[in-house]
Amino acid sequence: MRREKLRELSPLDEPAAPQDLRARQLRARDLLRGDLEGPELERHVEESVLATTLRRALSWGRANSVFPATFGLACCAIEMISLVTPRYDIARFGAENMRASPRQADLLILSGRVSIKMAPVVRRIYDQMLEPKWAIAMGACSSSGGMFANYAVVQGADKFMPIDVHVPGCPPRPEALIYGINKVQRMIQGNPDPGWRRRYNAIGTEEWARGGVAEPTEAELAAYAAARERLGA
Ligand code: SF4
């Protein structure tokens, strides 16, 4: 197909005329000099100024430059490894920079079953990561022990470290893990997706449900009410 025809089909890709760029440059210069006034100034500000807070800008940057630790535990790791291939291309979400040192990573993906013997090692790696940090339990095994209901495997990684997102499946497909990473990104930006907790009106119940105490304390009740209010439940 000829180049002209291609251009015809995608007119939005047409480069802007050089005089347009010059006009914008002159407008920006006038703005800096303080020569722009009235509707011209308003239009320029609307077109080119984005206002936000430092905290939001910081979390936007963090969410889009997650450094996962290069760490695999079992079969799920093969799916995790494929994230960086062109087919799944985790670079689209800025998380392709897998780090071999926990001190340079801020996301730990537990990709596979955690044996009792391995749990202290995993915990040490997590502790060595610098704050702020996040963790994903990938697959049935690291989330709940999966099919290994026996003495050798930890029945859920949240028994020995905090987990932010659980990705179900055996193994979860790379797309599912990407979805989990997207959820972590939303958490980093202060906009977590409560998912089923919102649907089943269960926000905040997990803090004492697994703790072994029969009744929640006053502080837990207050935290529960605050969490529900924050999430609009
Ligand atoms: S969830 Fe399935 S694929 Fe993943 S580690 Fe367990 S057995 Fe292997």
- Contacts for 227 with CB less than 8 Å, ≥ 6 apart: 203, 204
Reported confidence tier of residue 11, pLDDT bands at 50, 70, 90 = low
Q: Whose CA is nearest to atom 2 of ligand 1?
A: 170
In this prediction, residue 40 has a pLDDT band, given cuts at 50, 70 and 90, of: confident
Cβ proximity of 136 and 181 under 8 Å: yes
Locate CATH 3.40.50.12280 in the chain.
Answer: 66-193
Q: Whose CA is nearest to atom 6 of ligand 1?
A: 141
**CB atoms < 10 A from the CB of 99, how many?**
16
CB of 167 within 6 A of ligand 1: the answer is: no
pTM value > 0.85 = no
Segment among 57-66, 123-132, 147-156, 214-223 with least mean pLDDT: 214-223
Eight-class DSSP state of 160: T
Closest CA to 110 of 152, 66, 172, 183: 172
User: Please, are residues 75 and 110 in contact by the beta-carbon 8 Å criterion?
Assistant: no
The pLDDT value recorded for residue 177 is: 95
CATH topology of domain 66-193: Rossmann fold (3.40.50)
DSSP for residue 110: E
CA–CA gap between residue 184 and residue 154 (Å, rounded) = 23
pLDDT of 151:
92
- What pLDDT score does 227 carry? 73
Residue to mutate, 71, 73, 75, ligand 1, most ligand atoms under 8 Å from C-beta: 75
Distance 98 CA to ligand 1 centre (A): 21
Residue range 207-223: mean pLDDT, rounded:
63
Residue 9 pLDDT exceeds 60 = no
